[in-house]
């Protein structure tokens, strides 16, 4: 009986904490989705969260990597695709299907409070594949180029964060979806970065350090 009571108490605490976290999540969602509302964001953020809007940037980066680094550039592009492949497949086909969290814009009760600025979609909400994919790419590129170009870290994280926040603003994801999706993407991006380093260690060798050691 004592064990059963302890299990019941523990379960009650866990349920209470989950409800508390989800309530805070909804409050933060409303503060962004409604509190930040203005005509400029209504125009800009739906564009930013659309993957096709970034197609010119992706094309530029592919050309830049290959023209600048040759064969290694092809490896960079390939590992970037692997990074997105992992984050998107795990987020979309494993986590979402296991958790089955309904999007805020599809929640029968909560959707009345949601300002929807794009098509809602029928998929589940947790985690955000947009956040996982973009944070994964951001961390992979930071791993590769952060030491060479210090602005890389700020630009890449700002880019991923802006896309993540856009998902909340347009009404299709909760902040917790973005947070966990982003953290998952960060882990994958670091993992593929270390994997890339194990296959192409010469890319991370500073030529200036080699010249100094030769002297």
Q: Tell me: pLDDT of 212 over 50.
A: no
120's enclosing H/E stretch is none
Domain boundaries, the chain: 31-203
Q: Which of 76-85, 148-157, 181-190 has the lowest mean pLDDT?
A: 148-157
Q: Highest-confidence range of 121-130, 157-166, 206-215, by mean pLDDT?
A: 157-166
Torsion region of 200: left, alpha or beta (phi above 0 gives left; psi -120 to 50 gives alpha): beta
H-assigned helices in 114-150: 129-145
Residue 87 CA from chain centroid, whole number: 9
Neighbours of 20 (CB within 10 A): 10
Can you give the pLDDT at residue 176? 95
Residue 146 — very low, low, confident or very high, per pLDDT cuts 50/70/90?
confident
Neighbours of 151 (CB within 10 A): 9
| Residue with tokens 């009760």, as numbered in its chain | 109
Q: Tell me: pLDDT of 42 over 70.
A: yes
For residues 77 and 66, the answer to whether their CB atoms sit within 8 Å is yes
Q: Tell me: pLDDT of 116 over 50.
A: yes
Task: State the pTM of this model.
Answer: 0.87
The 10s digit of each residue's pLDDT in 154-200 is 999 999 999 999 999 999 999 999 999 999 999 999 999 999 999 99
């Amino acid at each position: 009986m004592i064990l059963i009571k302890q299990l019941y108490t523990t379960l009650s605490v866990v349920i209470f904490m989950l409800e508390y976290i989800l309530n805070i999540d909804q409050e933060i969602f409303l503060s962004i989705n409604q509190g930040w509302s203005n005509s400029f964001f209504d125009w800009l953020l739906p564009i930013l969260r659309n993957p096709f809007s970034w197609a010119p940037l992706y094309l530029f980066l592919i050309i830049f990597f290959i023209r600048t680094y040759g064969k290694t550039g092809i490896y960079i592009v390939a590992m970037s695709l692997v990074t997105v492949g992992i984050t998107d497949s795990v987020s979309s086909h494993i986590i979402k299907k296991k958790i089955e969290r309904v999007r805020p814009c599809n929640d029968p009760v909560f959707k009345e409070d949601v300002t929807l600025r794009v098509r809602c979609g029928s998929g589940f909400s947790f985690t955000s594949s947009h956040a996982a994919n973009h944070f994964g790419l951001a961390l992979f590129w930071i791993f590769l180029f952060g030491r060479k170009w210090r602005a890389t870290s700020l630009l890449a994280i700002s880019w991923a964060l802006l896309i993540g926040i856009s998902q909340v603003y347009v009404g299709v994801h909760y902040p917790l979806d973005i947070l966990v999706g982003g953290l998952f993407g960060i882990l994958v991006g670091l993992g593929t970065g270390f994997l890339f380093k194990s296959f192409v260690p010469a890319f991370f060798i500073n030529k200036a350090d080699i010249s100094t050691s030769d002297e």
